[in-house]
Amino acid sequence: MSLTFSLAHFMGGIILLCAFLQLSQRRLAAMITLYQTEALVLSAAAFWQGYAQGELNLYLTGLITFTLKAVLLPWGLREIVRRFNMVRAVETALPMAMAMILGLALIGVAVLVLLPVTMGTLSLTREDLAIALSVVLLGLLLMILRRNALAQIIGFLSMENGLVLAAIGMPGMPFVAEFSVALLVLLAFLVVGAFLFRIREHFDTLDLSGLEKIERRGR
């Protein structure tokens, strides 16, 4: 059991670290690499939880996570960066130092809120849920602070990684729920990808602050 706890917490910690480090990145290439690392570790965590819990469904979850999130989605994101030639730094709503402080504060909030209300559950489940909630909150913060549409998509995908991390840490989670979330993410990515191409075609930018200025002028 100690090995189960140690490896699960170690992999959860790596996912949390990647989500936190995304707040300090201003290059889309680095953000995509961190997201891909998140997905690779998440797939490994799903395989490990499948072994620890004796659940075949978690092996399938790990396979889907690896194929979709660690291979296909990063490839699609890099293709968008290459086609749009998005090599410039992404603008942020707050300085990096402030963003990191807010990220640490959100992690503290997740721990303080979740651990007391899950006292009756297994320690492994409680701590995995705390890590997962932290990843979700950091992904949400990334979406709020970045003004680039593609960076906001990465934040959304990071949030979904946190939800999957919570699901694989809870024994008895039905596979159909995890599969439905993965399929929804893929469909959303395809729709948003087409939407990004339309934005770039009409406005020649993916900076949403510029679109807000155009909207205000229209009013």
86 within 8 A of 31, measured Cβ to Cβ: no
pTM: 0.79
- The values of phi and psi at residue 180, to 5°, are -65, -40
Residue type, 53: Q
- pLDDT digit string (tens) for 40-58? 999 999 898 888 878 788 8
User: Structure tokens of 190?
Assistant: 């395809």
Q: Per-residue pLDDT tens for 192-204?
A: 655 555 555 555 5
Whole-number Å distance between alpha carbons of 142 and 138? 6
Residues of the chain below pLDDT 70: 1-2, 4, 87-89, 117-125, 171-219
Q: How far is CA 54 from CA 60, 109, 188, in A?
A: 12, 32, 32
